[in-house]
A and B are shown apart, each in its own frame.
Chain A
Amino acid sequence: MKKHKYRIKSFLLIVPCFIVFAFLIGCNSEGSQNGSASNDEVVLYLWGGVPAEAGPQEVVDQWNEENPDIKVEYTRFVNDDDGNLRLNTALQTGDSVDLFMSYAPNYLQDRVESGFVLDLAQFDDYDIDEKMGEEAQLWKIDDTYYGVPTKQSANFIYLNKTALDEAGLPIPEQWTWTEFKEYAEKLTTDTRLGYSQFDTGGTPEYVTSALIDEGYVNAEGTSNFDHENMTEALEIMYGMMHVDQSMMPLGEQIATGAAADQMFFNEEVAMLGAFEGLLRMTNDIEEYPRDFEIAFAPFPTFDGGSQVAPILGDTLSIAANTDYPEEAWEFIKWYSEGGMLPLASGGRVPASKDAPVDEAITQMVEGVEDTYDMPSLERMFNQSGVTADVMPLQIVDLLNQELERYFIGEQDADQTIENLVDRHNQYLEN
């Protein structure tokens, strides 16, 4: 064994590292827990899923100007599983959230069960049922409101009107799924698909529509997925994907991450199934240039079945831990009654009957009116029908799993229905 020359050089290298280290620790501004001072000023932290520059900042600025003694600050969370996790953990502490948005009843339900949300029954100066109509019922939990739904959520189909005109097809005001399938086929060309669905994660419209009158669960408390409309719905969609080829097969759409919205703008898709939120993109003709006019149609119905009613969304709640429930409540009322107008260009139309709904629709498409078929757009915010039940996320997911298997050809329609019923019933038992 030879003697080792102990080298001191690498030890010296550590010294500059320590200096950088110490410098950075010095920079570590102590516990900047939400910055603002807490003298007499009331500060409300509002959390929402819309990027601040797309409207919320303007809303908040307006409120702050009108109410100098109650300051509202906006925090944005991305409305996906991760983003909702972020909000939910923040809700546990009293000091970082006072007001927040829920975008689906499921999420609000989870928050209520966790004890995060203030019951609004204690405020008696604003009748939610009377203001918002019976559609608000969807957001009732244990027979009371934990949030005020503020906007009308409408699902509908965006139509390339130029393509429709060329094919000699009128803008449908009411139609069945069979008629819809024919439209899609007629609109399909070598370079263009008839139809595409914008998002693939939620409850498909044809499922909601198939069970709109019977509900997802029957009177005996078991699954309704074996209803005949379901079989018909599955066969229509399968036919569109694999026989007519008027629609991209679901497996391919998911596996390639195909952007249906871009395909619509590029005229590779003639009809796009989506919702009002997409108006933000169709309004932005600079970022998303297009050479055609857009018309709108409601989602189809089944023969003799009801139309799926638009629901209410953007539900604003007060955190249970807030120090300023009264002030937060004032903000909610102000927001619902028109404070939310700067969000109109994102397709947000107030739910309250006393809010300036027409003004919102005008503002929504201001400057680009002539790129739309306006009468059909106005109809979309005037739909009536039956409100669908809330489907638990577990069921939404298992539904999509089984449908994917069906559409990529791993199981036939009967097998799919059977699996759906089994798994749904298993969930209901637990």
Chain B
Amino acid sequence: MGWMRRQRLIGYLFILPSIIGVLTFFTFPLLFSVILAFTNWSGPGGINTEFIGTTNFINMFNDSIFLTTIKNTGIYLLHVPISVGLAFIVAIILNRMVYMRNTLRAMFFLPYITSSIAIAFVWMLLLSPSNGPVNETLRAIGITNPPSWLASGDTAMHAINLMSVWFILGFNVIIFLAALQNVPAELEEAARVDGAKFWHIQLFITFPLVSPITFFLLIIGFINTFKNFGLIHALTGGGPGDSTNVLALYVYQNAFRYYELGYASAIAVILFIIILIVTLIQWYIQRKWVYYQ
């Protein structure tokens, strides 16, 4: 066997274990699930399963909760770019511009590993409409009618967004920090000698160099926002009303609360298609701003 051919083979072997894993733990179960979406299967024992075609998909568009969850999911996505942008700034500061950087970095990462029950508990008390510290502060600075946060359908989703920025910030920061380590210091130095302002350097030199990672954080952030509902589940359970119910939570409720597995699968398929489209759009736009070496 020639050297080049052997190298090519080795190259395939690099990817193979991972591909097999994905086929086993994702693709195969997914196909199973897609088939379910066309049935009225209501339980793993499935004695009455029959093929009901597209009924589930038609029902979905008459289902007012489903339509609300689509809207809420859209609003929920907002926290991703905000958090990524904020994390870039925080990471630059924590990279070199502070004392005690190890401790500070750890503190920023802590929400990510703290018990979600503790998080829900503290945030609920902080945001308590009548006597929570947040609203007392707002009143003290002259806002007579502060928002009710989680207790009102108009503001609950925004409160969730706010908390999500807080929650995910540390995660984004440590990913940025790792990326900043490979930004050659001499580039910055050269720019500084040319008299460029600090934040100009960050924006025009550092930012393009870490753009593959920024791109990564946005994609991952959006995907996770579509998929996860842990924070919402712990805080509001989708309420008040259905004002914080999101697609992923609704899939969970249908699958494991109402045991409408066929319907849950159908919503999940739609959810999957939406994420795919959103990711494809980002993938297409990346060539306009992501810079690969």
Contact = CB atoms under 8 A, between A and B. Distances in A.
Direct contact of A and B (CB under 8 A): yes
A408 B153 contact: yes
Contacts of A393: 257-258
Interface residues of B, number: 40
B210 interface: no
Contacts of B152: 251, 408, 410
Given A393-B258, A408-B152, A402 B48 contact: no
Contacts of B256: 81-82, 84-85
B127 A401 contact: no
A424 to B, nearest CB: 12
A92 B153 contact: no
Closest 4 CB pairs of A and B: A114-B43, A115-B45, A255-B151, A114-B45
B153 A410 contact: yes
Contacts of B240: 251, 254-255, 401, 404-405, 408, 410
Contacts of B132: 256
B128 interface: yes
Interface of A: 81-82, 84-85, 88-89, 91-92, 110-111, 113-116, 201, 249, 251-252, 254-257, 320, 392-394, 397-398, 400-402, 404-405, 408, 410, 423, 426, 430
A408 B151 contact: yes
Contacts of A257: 120-121, 124-125
Main secondary structure of the interface of B (DSSP, over half): loop
B239 A256 contact: no
Interface of B: 42-48, 59, 62, 64-65, 120-121, 124-125, 127-130, 132, 148-154, 156, 236-237, 239-242, 252-253, 256-259
Contacts of B154: 410
B124 A110 contact: no
24 contacts: A82-B256, A88-B43, A91-B44, A92-B45, A111-B43, A113-B47, A114-B45, A115-B45, A201-B237, A251-B240, A252-B129, A252-B130, A254-B240, A255-B127, A255-B128, A256-B129, A257-B120, A320-B45, A394-B258, A397-B257, A398-B65, A405-B240, A408-B240, A423-B64
Given A251-B129, A257-B125, 7 more contacts: A84-B256, A251-B240, A252-B128, A255-B149, A255-B240, A393-B258, A410-B241
Nearest to B68: A401
Nearest to A251: B151
